[in-house]
Structure 1
Amino acid sequence: MVQYKRYERYKDSGVEWLGEVPENWSVDRLKSSVKSLKNGVWGDDPKGNENDVFCVRVADFNRNKYEVETEEFTVRNLGREKQKAFILKKGDLLIEKSGGGDNQPVGFVVRYNREEPAIYANFMARMHLNEKISCSNFFKYVHSSIYANRINVRSIKQTTGIQNLDTDYYLQEIVVYPTLQEQIKISEFLDQKTAEIDSLITDKEKLIALSEKQRQAIITETVTKGLDLDVKMKDSGVEWIGKIPEHWEICEFRRISTLQQGLQIAQEERFSEGGPGRFEYITIKYLNSLRTELDKEFIENPNKRVICYPEEILLARTGATGVVVTNIFGVFHNNFFKVNFNKSRIGRDYLVYYLKQVKIQEHFKLVAGTTTIPDLNHGEFLSTKCLIPPVSEQIQIVDFLDSCISDIDSLITEIKNQINKLKEYRQSLIYEAVTGKINVRDVAAGY
């Protein structure tokens, strides 16, 4: 990483998260940067008349660029006179006041950098900045550092099921103020450098996508064609499967498996902590990569038929139709099927790979329907075709795929680690620039 110069002299800011700051920078409350703050408005449903207006929602926050970004604005209806008090100006900052959660608390700030006239929803507040001492592009980065360091969390007033940000308290936080000209230079530097880092991240994310596509292709090719390139083939009779090795058996899942559907457990019967006699409750939330220990739920003394053991297979029926879950122990929700299979005819690991292949995943999504909540029913699953090689060949396929997938997964893990380091560097660079730990005033464009 590039080593940047420091300022000549520093002073103690008196604030722990800021530390030492350049001697000639002012130290003051966030409130000084803000000329006015006003809560948003939701308005009425659009009516197709002159009072219809674009409305910014929290969903329009680009949390990577700290800007409002959307392909299509929400339209609301608000009288023209009332609109005047809520119309955004280019450069206004918007702060999320209500909503959030443990993983993504309220207090995130974005800059409105659009030309379109728009109002803003009632879950946020608009900050007009004091332009004499505040560059909005610089302060979007200041707020991002406040958020990254979780300084905003101490201004959150938690109510039942929702977070609310006390903006008066939040604006009492201490930040530093370079000169206005220096703010502009720092923000231009950060615009350039964050864009460069984001480009690197995008390239690595594309590499992950290609690796995942390769993984899926290998699984699909192997569980439908086998490992012997010279084997004689036959028509499977199923369009989405195509030709298969001549000696492989093909049959409906109903011939080799049965399904057990889970249970919907009432919220009042769930516990937030485990303990003797309690089992983890496996819902679709289990598939969320951001899930934490705090998200876990438990139930007591369940019916044994809805307990899943690590060696068993769950298949998502709704919500994430066709997703396979293994190596878990707990009680499963009725959004899942447990797939019970004839172990003498098909091995567990081979079956898992077969259920993970692209072609059958696409088939399950197709037969689950295109309604608001797709639902894979028992009959559609049981009538789906399954390919069954000899058991000895299943073992060879599993060994081959285990080795290939392990290599690909290791590569993906390494790339993800690189992305995380880039993201950490990006946030560190922002923090160091807006708090004066590095001097970027004279860094030439393109450096």
Structure 2
Amino acid sequence: MPYSPCEPTPHEWLPEIPNHWEVVRFSFFVSFQEGPGIMAVDFRDEGVPLLRIRNVQGRFVDPEGSNFLDPEMVQDRWAKYACQPGDLLISCSASTGLVSEVTDSARDSIAYTGLIRLWPQRSEIIPEYIRWIVVSDQFLTQISILQTGAAMQHYGPEHLGKMRITLPPPNEQKQIADFLDWKTGQIDALIAKKKQLIEKLQEQRSAVITQAVTKGLNPDAPMRDSGIPWLDSVPEAWNLTKLRFMFEFGRGLGITKANLLDSGIPCINYGEIHSKYGFEVIPETHDLKFVSEDYLESGAKSLLSYGDFVFADTSEDVEGSGNFSYLNSETPTFAGYHTVTAKPLEEYNPRYLAYLFDSPAFRHQIRKNISGVKVFSITQGLLKSCSAWLPEMDEQTEIVDYLDLKCGKMDRITLCCQSAIEKLTEYRAAIITAATTGKIDVRKVKLPTSV
């Protein structure tokens, strides 16, 4: 039920509020401080934890994996930045919307630049309410208007000083915070179950693919030692070779996001390979960007035909190293920035190769040889050195038909779970915004006594 009566506000992002609430400047009620810029030369192997974005991924700050600072240096230079239990840390770049509460485990730690420390400066606002305000749409909408930066969106204390928030009486703030703790806890539990199911399906999918592309479908087929330590035995009739003998390798277009258009020749870039269209890309149904037709002449070597492969040449994690897609379409499509192209020199079933490249047995070769620290590089030389094991064309087709049937069922369930997660996430955000803007009145909601 909504509050009644309500009164209008002059803010586009907030049409009305309960008439006993206020809209106030964030800076009048909440103190905030961005972490200092500290050079890597000041990092130590032990000492005072230096918190970064990876430490604020959950409800509470987790100092595990943080860098460290010399305690004496902290006392001399950065003592005013020391975090205290009850403080909140929010991300002000790259991952806006992250908020974590400081507990005793992170007492006196220092928040690095890119994180902003929050704490109440007046008794009219409570920390529990602040935590929900900073992840509500009323807050995030103002951030999207104020934040700056082209490559990476950013906001800071100067922006927070311009922001406004809703301010119910303190007792209602507590009721709202308790309600959201309870309600989002229910939603988060449902999301967690869906994610667990997806994880199990992915493990099952990997096992089915691995069995099919390393042992084949005939359990009575004679086997032989592959000569590859991590592969063990393969069917005797299969051919072992290297990718250097199977493909002509090249690079994608040397373009940037600025070269992408809304029409022209379809183009798949490394971002789509990692996030949307891994395994296969179908430009007729997949939402790709385009490049100018001028590249048909200047970038002809980067143009993909049916059955050609494109690998992302960088990955932010080991698991994503080796991510690829193959063009499952007759529509010519360009390989874009940060990609390596692989065009078959002979006739293969491209879908069999896709399943092979998707298998842990194949990916192991890439993951154990990649180079990099924060970003891992996948080079043409690395791909050329990888081994492949190939049955005859008829058997490739049989394996593809089998895996399409088996994996198709799992993929459909996974899509349903992902859709459910998306809807639950949207519902979660809507509940937070409704409760913190007065669209729903939670004062009479009966909560379990454990909340």
Q: TM-score, normalised by structure 1?
A: 0.80
Query: Deviation per CA, 1:328-384, whole angstroms, max 9, x where unpaired?
Result: 7114557524141421xx322222222222212213333x25664455654874562
The offset of 1:133, in angstroms, is 0.5
Specify which of 276, 285, 303 is matched with residue 307 of structure 1: 303
Partner of 1:186: 176
Separation in structure 2 between the aligned mates of residue 68 and residue 22 of structure 1, nearest angstrom: 34
Shift in Å, 1:134: 0.7
Shifted more, 190-199 versus 316-325: the winner is: 316-325
1:109-128 correspondence to structure 2 within 5 Å: 110-115=100-105, 116-128=107-119
Of the structure 1 ranges 85-94 and 287-296, higher mean CA displacement relative to structure 2 is found in: 287-296
1:235 aligned residue: 224
Q: 8 Å contact 1:317–1:376 — kept in the other structure?
A: yes
Residues 3-55 of structure 1, C-alpha deviations (whole Å, 9 max, x = no match)? xx444533334434333333322332323322x433432345447699x5322
Classify 1:148/1:295 alpha carbon distance in 2 versus 1 (closer, same or farther; 3 Å).
Answer: farther
User: What's the CA shift for 1:411?
Assistant: 0.6
Equivalent residue of 1:287, what SS? helix
List alignment gaps of at least 5 residues for structure 2: 278-285
Where does residue 323 of structure 1 map in the other structure?
323
Matched, 1:197 2:217: no
Q: Distance in 1 between matches of 2:22 and 2:45?
A: 49
User: Is 1:258 equivalent to 2:247 in the alignment?
Assistant: yes
Q: 2:342 aligns with which of 335, 338, 344?
A: 338
* 1:310–1:149 CA distance, 2 compared to 1 (3 A): farther
Q: 1:309 to 1:148 in 2, by over 3 A?
A: farther
1:249 maps to a residue whose letter is W
**Distance between the aligned counterparts of 1:49 and 1:341, measured in 2?**
51
Give yes or no for contact 1:94–1:127 (8 Å, CA) kept in 2: yes
Q: Which of 364, 373, 384 matches 2:387?
A: 384
CA contact (8 A) 1:308 1:332 kept: no
- Residue 427 (structure 2) aligns with: 425
2:65 maps to a residue whose letter is E
1:14-25 alignment to 2 at 5 Å? 14-25=10-21
Q: What's the offset of the Cα at 1:166?
A: 5.8
Pairing 1:222–2:212 present? yes
Q: How many residues align?
A: 424
Which residue of 2 is the match for residue 40 of structure 1?
35
Q: Equivalents in 1 of 2:423, 2:308: separation in Å?
A: 36
Partner amino acid for 1:324? F
Q: Which runs of 5+ in 1 are unaligned?
A: none
Alpha-carbon separation, structure 1, partners of 2:262 and 2:439: 48
Counterpart-to-counterpart distance in 1, 2:434 and 2:218:
58
Tell me the CA shift for residue 398 of structure 1.
Answer: 1.6
Q: Map Cα deviations across residues 242-301 of structure 1 (whole Å, 9 max, x no partner).
A: 44445x33231369613322167376xx8433389x766655334332799899877844
Aligned to 1:68: 61
Distance of 1:107 and 1:191 partners within structure 2? 17
CA distance in 2 between counterparts of 1:414 and 1:266 reads 35
Shift in Å, 1:205:
0.7
Kept in 1, the 8 Å contact 2:90–2:99? The answer is yes
- Equivalence map 1:88-103=2 (5 Å): 88-97=83-92, 99-100=93-94
State the Cα distance separating 1:309 from its structure 2 match: 2.4
Shift of 1:124: 4.0
